[in-house]
Structure 1
Amino acid sequence: MKPFTIAGIQMKVSATHSNLEMMKLKLDITMNVYPAVDLVLFSELCGYGPLTYYAQELPGHFEDEMKAMAKKHKIWLVPGSIFEKSGDKIYNTALVINPQGEVVSRYRKMFPFYPYEVGVTPGSEFCIFDIPDVGRFGLSICYDMWFPETIRTLAVMGAEVILHPTLTGTMDRDIEHSIAQTMAAVNQCFFFDINGLDSGGIGRSTVCGPDGRIMYQAGSTEEIIPIEIDMERVQRSRELGVMRLGQPLKSFRDHMGDFNIYNPNKKHEYLESLGPLIKPQKPEQLTELKQRESMIQLPVNLVE
């Protein structure tokens, strides 16, 4: 076994000013207390909070500061995500920085939390990266994991560890714990789900092993979470099965089939019947919305 230690940092996040200096302080503290740490992971939107008002271009000041910190401590660094301004679009983007202070990848969140994450454009490319002599890592952000196809794709691409910065301050955190465990088990991988505090979430970060069991679950206070992992656990799980039972990745390989629900040209009558992607409405407001929709569709039906 070649030990590799990942530290999640669960910290308070402000929505009114930059959290950059506090992130740097937390990094310094982490590496002073736990010098064996190889990779540090912060929560989603940790740098500037959840407001698109603070969107900035990449590369930029935040990226430069994080590159310098990774190089200073000679660690791999995923500093959560920030809102990235690119032309007239805004993305929720996470960085991967190596110990030489170089950006090796940027990942744009594929599933913004619609209809709440207003004005954010979905990304379209998956993110995996290799750490020499350790293994392959995949990057996912918050709501992405609610769509199992995203994590399965990373696993099929060879990811053995999923790094998952999140920002959850809502009552569905228990559900997310279940999803994190499930994603770890059905993809036979380590899963690091790191949440923030205050404007950055309600904490309760979770780390799961390739058998789906929780290795550590944080509380709702600031914490540094250093977890040493053994990549051989992933390899043995994928070769011999979860708890030496189910072998989901090999079974998926051998019976992948043609899941035609994913055909982009296929219309799904039931899904279309669910209505628009909107925030929950009072019954009378929903009725008005449906009436407006039917009026808009009427000319199309008449033409047909």
Structure 2
Amino acid sequence: MSKTLRVGLVQQAAWPDKAKSLQESEAGIRELAAQGAELVLLQELHTTHYFCQFEDTALFDLAEPLDGPSGRYLENLARELDIVLVGSLFERRAAGLYHNTAVVYDRKQGRVGHYRKMHIPDDPGFYEKFYFTPGDYDPQRQTGFTPIATSVGRLGLLICWDQWYPEAARLMALAGADILLYPTAIGWDPSDEADEKSRQKDAWTLIQRAHGVANGLPVMAANRVGFEADLSGSGEGIDFWGGSFICGPQGELLAHAGESAERLCVTLDMGRGESTRRIWPYLRDRRVDAYGELTQRYRD
């Protein structure tokens, strides 16, 4: 008999005011829990505005340790509502050492794991290398591309820029992930032409659905919404496009949000990954003996 899992995600706006942003997250979490969601995903950096649009050392004051006020807030919600909750923190690990970190809270167990973003972008309006150190990669210590075990399954957590890399999704699948989750903050430059905006958003959705297909896993992607100004005044700001979705192991869209605040909730048949892999046995047919050059930057 197939096991089912009720899952949900929150697509929301966010503000520089942490209390306001967390209250918006909480409203979505409570709504989803009331709909029976056992697993709830929040978007990337949901406690604040997207501050990486410019470089300012004062913004490191936004960072918190994993057990800081925002972490305890989310942990208490997961305990009260008896859910598995995936939140996002600007983590202060030590002085001068900060991460973009997804954190997992499992019902009354509290915090059971975290994942530090591995691929860090550095593009106009997304100056993340200034703020975030890439996550460590140590399979022995179960850091990097290692699923987090919870009461609802093994969560293959990846964050935003990670979503463009098939290697990351594959490594999570090879390590036994039951589902891929992508908390995200992505949007348009307001000056982009309509056709370019459409291409970018379609590519974003397509590649993540493809990770589900290539690995026989369901996928959840939670993005933010709304226009966020560049508070330095040097840029045009970002229109976050939303478009959060949940898809099955053949990439089939089960729920797809628009460009405004929204909550998605669906019931996943967790047995479909097994049946899908039986008819599309990609893991069986991989030529692992021929892939050694993938560890090179480029084949010159």
Range of TM-score over shorter length: 0.7 to 0.9
CA distance in 2, matches of 1:103, 1:127: 16
| SS of match in other structure, 2:288 | coil
Which residue is 2:26 aligned to? Answer: 24
The one-letter code of the counterpart of 1:123 is G
Residue deviations 1:213-249 (CA, integer Å, cap 9, x gap)? 22221111111100100111001111222xxxxx212
Which residue is 1:178 aligned to? Answer: 206
Which residue is 2:148 aligned to? Answer: 129
CA distance in 1, matches of 2:68, 2:18: 17
Aligned-residue offset at 1:16: 5.2
Contact 1:56/1:83 (8 A) holds in 2: yes
**Counterpart check, 1:71 vs 2:79:** yes
Contact 1:105/1:127 (8 A) holds in 2: no
Aligned-residue offset at 1:212: 1.6
The alignment-based identity, stated in percent, is 27
Aligned-residue offset at 1:3: 2.2
CA distance in 2, matches of 1:222, 1:78: 18
TM-score (norm 2): 0.80
| SS of match in other structure, 1:126 | coil
| SS of match in other structure, 1:175 | helix
Aligned-residue offset at 1:250: 1.7
Describe how 1:89-238 pairs up with structure 2 within 5 A: 89-115=97-123, 116-119=127-130, 120-124=132-136, 125-132=144-151, 134-170=152-188, 171=197, 172-198=200-226, 199=228, 201-238=240-277
Contact 2:12/2:262 (8 A) holds in 1: yes
| SS of match in other structure, 1:63 | helix
Aligned-residue offset at 1:258: 4.2
Residue deviations 1:177-228 (CA, integer Å, cap 9, x gap)? 1101110101110010111112482211121211122222111111110010
Residue segments in structure 1 that go unaligned for 5+ positions in a row:
242-246, 271-304
Residue deviations 1:74-97 (CA, integer Å, cap 9, x gap)? 000002x12111221221001000
Aligned-residue offset at 1:259: 2.5
| SS of match in other structure, 1:257 | helix
Residue segments in structure 2 that go unaligned for 5+ positions in a row:
53-58, 137-143, 189-196, 229-238
The one-letter code of the counterpart of 1:237 is T
Distance 1:49 1:127, change over 3 A: farther
Distance 1:239 1:123, change over 3 A: same
Contact 1:48/1:82 (8 A) holds in 2: no
The one-letter code of the counterpart of 1:29 is E
Aligned-residue offset at 1:269: 6.9
Distance 1:267 1:227, change over 3 A: closer
The one-letter code of the counterpart of 1:217 is H
CA distance in 2, matches of 1:195, 1:146: 14
Contact 2:7/2:38 (8 A) holds in 1: yes
CA distance in 1, matches of 2:33, 2:38: 9
Distance 1:267 1:64, change over 3 A: closer
The one-letter code of the counterpart of 1:130 is A
Q: Which has the larger radius of gyration?
A: 1
**Counterpart check, 1:251 vs 2:285:** yes
TM-score (norm 1): 0.79
